[in-house]
A and B are shown apart, each in its own frame.
Chain A
Amino acid sequence: MRRHVTAYGFLSAALVVFAVFSWWPIVRGVVLSFQQVNFVTSPDWVGWENFERLFADPLFLVAWRNTAYFTILALVIGFGVPFITAVVLNELRHAKAYFRLLVYLPVMLPPVVTALLWKWFYDPGPGLFNSALRGLDLPTSQWLDSSSTSMISLVLVITWANMGSATLIYLAALQTIPGELYEAADLDGASILEKIWHVTIPQTKFVILMLLLLQVVATMQIFTEPFVMTGGGPEESTVTVLLLLYRYAFYYNDFGTASAMSLILFAVLSVFSFLYLEITRKADA
């Protein structure tokens, strides 16, 4: 008996913190989605009105399209690069510490610092990128200033900033592949690409899948980079779901509709979270 009392004493702070800042807000988020909240009078039940308002807002569709586009671009660019980098690094026996240090350095920078730095690099006039392109006699780009390149510019920033973690996690996974598998492939006369396809990828597929799903969940919640670098422009080309949610809550003071929006985002993301859980469970088995 005393053991249980002591245990709950040790657990009490965590229970309070989780209850107030995790469990209760989950319930409250659902409730808020069906309410109108204005801080003056007590909240009113409005049924599906918040959702109807969202679906009537043309920007809602734009935000989802932008977010989907961003997620796909981030998968194409941001997903392949760390894996390939890890495969190359795993072959190198020199300067290992230097490579690891460099690739992880951007991860340590505050995202706002990275965003502001890259905004300066992207300056179409004297910015680093266009200066370098001009120096090489290559065509320059408007980067963030054009609605056709704004999104891909943001993808480059987050790939640069975050690829360190993924690269090092892949590297750790690659080191668990038994050397005999490559030896066997050599005996069969396999080329490097064939070895990657038949040995490297199958041997690391759980890690690949897990990082893929984690990345989808993270990129669909992108906020800091568009908020700091573009504010959603030009021509709303970088308004993401979270940026619109922020506008509803803090520009229009419409917390009900903002909650409805996070409920929808949550529903979409839980598909990916569920897949992630299934895969980790299988990997543990």
Chain B
Amino acid sequence: MRTLTKGNGKTYWVVLTLTLVVFTAAFLLPLVWVLLGAFKPPAELARQPPTILPEVWEPGAYVDAWNFMDLGRFFLNTFVVAIGAWAVQMAVIVPAAYALSKLKPWGGNVILGLMLATLMLPATALLIPVYLTLTDLDLLNNPAGIWLPFAANALNVYLLKRFFDQIPEELLEAARIDGAGTWTTLTRIVLPISRPILAVVSIFAVVAAWKDFIWPLLVFPEPAKQTLSVALQRFAPDTPINLLLAGLVLASLPMVALFLAFQRHILAGLTAGGVKG
């Protein structure tokens, strides 16, 4: 398609080369720098000017970081928080969106409206009252303290409902005539058709839970229960710099791997959030 420029000639190649250089320098270089930095011993890291490649390769830093900060425990905690948050959210919002879209009960629109109204609230407006509610329910230091508030995700209810709305009634009618109940219709007909939107919503839910900082910070005062993000910021001041860098690299790997694996879904999902051209 025609765009701003005709896109040929010398200028095009100059702009392309420049963009390649700037992008690589801005987004890839810092990450490579950390990756390499973790291999250098602390004395080499303090040197000015810095060495580009490590003079002494110390791959042991990754192992030491793992043991020093007990990263295995925090990986497991984060994994439990993220996967649990996803599972609970799905269990809560999929039936709800289905009910609002296809069963259309009395007051369904009012309920949807009340849910969507929460989107207008800045996330932090509920920080204190939700924290106190979690305290009342004795959910501090418990992953459920993340899972349950996380399940009240109005945007995802809306995205699922909008997708379910497009599934033709006749399809559900046919299932009903074949004797399928409401639950069977949901699991056998609706969910398989809805795989694309379920994938997008799921990936974003896992990523959001994994990246979150402020909620785990409040919910897990007990060090042994903390997630990677909370633990890393707690360890940062007292950890040798090479070990900290190795820890940061390790903590990023799952999300980078997820991104490389589901790149297409993630980039397509970005524009599914209602922002249209």
A residues sitting closer than 8 Å to B (CB atoms) are 3-4, 6-8, 10-11, 13-15, 17-18, 20-26, 28-29, 32, 37, 87-95, 98-106, 108-113, 115-117, 119-121, 125-126, 128, 131, 134-135, 160, 165, 168-169, 172-177, 179-180, 182-183, 192, 195-196, 199-200, 204, 206-207, 210-211, 217, 220-221, 223-224, 227-228, 242, 245, 249-250, 255, 258-259, 262-263, 265-266, 269-270, 273-274, 277, 280, 283
Determine the residue in chain A with the shortest Cβ distance to B124: A221
Q: Which residues of A contact B129 (CB under 8 A)?
A: 24-26, 28-29, 32, 259
Q: Which residues of B contact A196 (CB under 8 A)?
A: 4
Q: How far is the CA of A32 from the CA of B171 in the complex (A)?
A: 50
| Size class of the B contact interface (CB-based, 8 Å) | 35 or more
Q: Which residues of A contact B27 (CB under 8 A)?
A: 102-103, 105-106, 160
Q: Which residues of A contact B252 (CB under 8 A)?
A: 108-110, 113
B223 within 8 A of A: no
B184 within 8 A of A: no
Instruction: Produce 1/0 per residue, B23-67, CB < 8 A to A.
Output: 110111011011001000000011111100000000000000000
Q: How far is the CA of A196 from the CA of B5 in the complex (A)?
A: 10
Q: Which residues of A contact B3 (CB under 8 A)?
A: 90-91, 174, 177, 179, 182
Q: How far is the CA of A120 from the CA of B239 in the complex (A)?
A: 13
Q: Which residues of B contact A99 (CB under 8 A)?
A: 19, 23
Q: Which of A102, A108, A182, A280 contacts B23 (CB 8 A)?
A: A102
Known: A21-B133, A92-B19. A131 touches B50 (CB 8 A): yes
Q: Which residues of A contact B133 (CB under 8 A)?
A: 20-21, 24-25, 28
CB distance from A37 to the nearest CB of B (A): 8
Q: Given contacts A3-B105, A17-B92, A174-B277, could you give 18 more A-B pairs where the C-beta distance is less than 8 Å?
A: A3-B103, A14-B92, A20-B148, A21-B130, A29-B128, A102-B23, A105-B259, A108-B256, A109-B252, A169-B275, A175-B1, A195-B4, A199-B4, A206-B276, A217-B122, A250-B218, A255-B128, A266-B122
A91 touches B108 (CB 8 A): no
Q: How far is the CA of A26 from the CA of B128 in the complex (A)?
A: 10
A173 touches B277 (CB 8 A): yes
Q: Which of A7, A23, A174, A223 contacts B99 (CB 8 A)?
A: A7
Q: How far is the CA of A273 from the CA of B26 in the complex (A)?
A: 32
A95 touches B267 (CB 8 A): no
Q: How far is the CA of A233 from the CA of B277 in the complex (A)?
A: 41
Q: How far is the CA of A15 from the CA of B151 in the complex (A)?
A: 11
Q: How far is the CA of A119 from the CA of B237 in the complex (A)?
A: 11
B132 touches A7 (CB 8 A): no
